[in-house]
Structures are given as C-alpha cells and as structure tokens.
Structure 1
Amino acid sequence: MKSSKVFLLLNGEVPTKLPNLSKYDLICATDGAYQYLQKNKITPDFISGDFDSLGNTPDDVEVIETPNQDYTDFDKILQILFDKGFYEIDVYGASGKEQDHFLGNLHTAIQWKSKLKLTFFDNYSRYFLADKNIKIKDCKNKMISLLPFPEAKQIVTRGLKYPLNNEALVFGKRIGIRNEAIENQVTITFESGALFIFINH
C-alpha cells in the first residue's frame, strides 16, 4: 500500500520554485508561511500555529490553533500530522532567515526520527536524517555533506571522493562537508549517533 505524502511549508526562506504539488496527498503550512501559499494561489488543507505572525485567519482553510509556547510551530504541526496518520513529509522553508530556527528544526527532526520520515528541501539542497544504512542514487558529481548532530560513530562510505572507513564525526571536532559523489550510487553506514546528509542540487 502506497504511503500518503505531505507537503509542509515552514516560515523560513521561501522556495524559488515549488515542486509538483499534485504528487502530495496533503498540503499544510505553519501560520507564518501561509501568506506565501496565498500569494501563489495555493489553498492548503490546513494551517497551524499560534497565529502571532498572521493577521486575520482565512475562512476557506482549516485553522488549527496551537498556542502552547513550550514547543515550536514545527514540532506542533508534526504532532498534528502524526495524529492524522501521515508519516512521510517533505519539508520546505526549514532553513534560511533566523539560523536559530534552522538549528531548532534539525533538533526537532531528531526527536521525530523514529516516528516520521522527514526530507527537507531548500533552494540549494535536500537534506535528511540518515538511517544507519542508506543508499543514495543518481548523485554522481553532486556535493554531499555529512553533518553529525552532535556525533556519529563508525561511519563507512562508498562512492565518495574522500571516503570514511570506520571513522567518527563529531560536531566541534570533525565534520564531513563538501565531499563529492564519484559514483552514481553512494552508500553510507554508521553504528551510532545522528547524521544529517546534505545533497546539493
């Protein structure tokens, strides 16, 4: 059975080009990102947030208010999607603008890793929290970065210009940015920790 897929827009840097939205089963946004959808004549299935950055709430869209300030709007909308039974989510607008929000979004992704499949897209790359054994296809000549959050151990890579062989990456000591795929398929495995993979367009 094919899993349902979600397009989620956050209030970071807006996409210069939207994906084909017809491939998604549900479209949603946080309140701060809604104006971008409205400007592009896109009606989401729902928007959520505390609505501190949105003037009047729309009449033609389901509005889910989430006033709890103990959680970010990103975390709260992920909880809504999880409760609705959606587990595969493409996230746009998670980076850019305030960088503390971007780092907070990476933190949230780690918290939801066991429950949701999150793939992030911005105007420069796609990125995601890696499983411990992953194959990336169609990536020859693309720039690939490995960012531990905060560490990942016993990393083995195949298909990268600068391979890792049972090595550790630790934020603040050593990270693996701006490597290059020299094969069409790159394989990355690691034993423990959290590892984000960034693939430049």
Structure 2
Amino acid sequence: MRAVVVAHGDVLPADRAVIGVDDYVVAADGGAFALERWKLLPHLIVGDMDSLGDAGVERFARQGIPVAKFPAQKDESDLELAVAQAVAAGATEVVVLGALGGDRLDHETANLLLLADPSYDGVRIEARRGALRIRALRGEGSLSLGPLEAIVTLLPVNGDAEGVTTEGLRYPLRDETLRFGRARGLSNEVDSLPATVTVRKGSLLVFETP
C-alpha cells in the first residue's frame, strides 16, 4: 500500500497531482489545511493539533475523519507520528508532501533526516516538492536516477557512506567514500540512462531536480 503524508510545510499546486485515488492519505496536523484547499479529505489526521486548532479538528470530525491527537509535549514531531501511523496501517511506500519550507529550518532538517531513519528499512519513503524529489538510500542498495539532465545531489547521513558508485552521471563516482559533512556529492547531473547510485555501507539522501 502507498501512503501520502501531508505535513504543514510549503506545498505547491502541482503537489496535488501526487495523490492518487488509491493512496492512504494522512495529514500531519496543519497539513490538513492543504488537503482542504485541494478539496480532499484525509483518511486520518495525526498530531498535537496546535496548528489545526479545536475548530479545525471539529470541522474534520464532523465529516467523519478520525483524529489521533497527541500531547503537545512529546518526543516525536507530528510528521514522525504521521509516518509511523501510515506504516502501522500497512504502507510499504510513503510519499511526504509539505516537508520543506516554512520558517523553521530545524523542522525542515528533522523532516529530511526522517527519510533516512534505519527503523524504516523495507519501507520506501520520499519527500516531494514540485519537481524536487528526495529519497534515502539506507545501507547496501541502489536507486535508479533520472530523467536526463536532472541535477542529482548525494549527501551522506549517519556518518560516512562507503563504496558509492554511480552510473550515468556527468561526474562519476567509483567505489568512493562520501564523507559526512562534506559537499563531494553536491550538484551532479544525469547525462545518460540508465543512471544509478549504489552504496555498499552507510546512508545517503538523494536529491533529484529535473
């Protein structure tokens, strides 16, 4: 099952097209406002409801939408809770909208790091904003890249990424180590297909902008 989780960050009109009729849709607190603008209803709303407020909760509850309300003083972000709820419902693929933007860079950074959470091994999680797509490569594995001329950035998280090899990129990597905190993997480009990135050990955040 694929789930779409909508957070309370910036969303673009084009993001509406990401949500398919068969997707399980979860709103992370104020992410419900974006769905409301798109005239869509979530299957579930999750969070402490500090953004949605009592009036918003009541408005969605009247439409039969279940709300999982958590205390404001908690250890997880609303997005983290929403992704966990989606996975608990059976999602093996999660697309996050609204993970970026806003005036809280700390929230945005935490949202991106969530993609690389090793506890979600076996679950494909990605964030999208317009044409931008961000995925995580956790541990040994590979991802297909594209389309042609897409800008690709590979950033190691949770330490160094070892044995990084790319195919189809303008600046190839051959069994290299990308050091955590370094910009070695910044701003590459797809110049032939098929294009791939493979990692032997460690984790990468993979940014693709057509």
Same fold by TM-score greater than 0.5: yes
Aligned partner (choices 191, 194, 201) of residue 182 of structure 1: 191
* Contact 1:90–1:119 (8 Å) recurs in 2: yes
* Contact 2:146–2:190 (8 Å) recurs in 1: no
1:148 Cα deviation from its structure 2 partner: 0.8
Amino acid of the structure 2 residue aligned with 1:12: G
The one-character-per-residue Cα deviations of 1:168-187 (angstroms, maximum 9, x if unpaired) are: 11232343111111112112
* Contact 2:5–2:83 (8 Å) recurs in 1: no
Task: Give the aligned partner of residue 181 of structure 2.
Answer: 172
Q: Distance in 2 between matches of 1:190 and 1:89?
A: 22
1:16 Cα deviation from its structure 2 partner: 2.7
Q: Distance in 2 between matches of 1:125 and 1:172?
A: 22
1:135 Cα deviation from its structure 2 partner: 4.1
Identity of aligned residues (%): 27
The one-character-per-residue Cα deviations of 1:76-110 (angstroms, maximum 9, x if unpaired) are: 11221222122211111111112211210122222
> Is residue 2:17 matched to residue 1:12?
no
Aligned partner (choices 84, 105, 121) of residue 99 of structure 1: 105
Q: Distance in 2 between matches of 1:198 and 1:165?
A: 19
Q: Distance in 2 between matches of 1:133 and 1:33?
A: 32
Q: Distance in 2 between matches of 1:99 and 1:40?
A: 26
Larger mean CA deviation between 45-54 and 79-88 belongs to 79-88
Task: Give the aligned partner of residue 116 of structure 1.
Answer: 123
1:124 Cα deviation from its structure 2 partner: 4.2
Task: Give the aligned partner of residue 137 of structure 2.
Answer: 130
Q: Distance in 1 between matches of 2:145 and 2:99?
A: 24
* Structure 2 spans left out of the alignment, 5+ residues: none
Task: Give the aligned partner of residue 152 of structure 2.
Answer: 144
Aligned partner (choices 85, 92, 116) of residue 80 of structure 1: 85
Task: Give the aligned partner of residue 169 of structure 2.
Answer: 160
Aligned partner (choices 64, 68, 72) of residue 68 of structure 2: 64
Larger mean CA deviation between 155-164 and 72-81 belongs to 72-81
Q: Distance in 2 between matches of 1:106 and 1:174?
A: 17
Larger mean CA deviation between 13-22 and 57-66 belongs to 13-22
Q: Distance in 2 between matches of 1:179 and 1:127?
A: 14
Change (3 A) 1:115 1:64: farther
* Contact 2:166–2:196 (8 Å) recurs in 1: yes
TM-score, normalised to structure 1, is 0.90
TM-score, normalised to structure 2, is 0.86
1:161 Cα deviation from its structure 2 partner: 0.5
Change (3 A) 1:20 1:105: closer
Change (3 A) 1:9 1:198: same
2:83 counterpart SS class: helix
Change (3 A) 1:159 1:168: same
Matched positions, count: 198
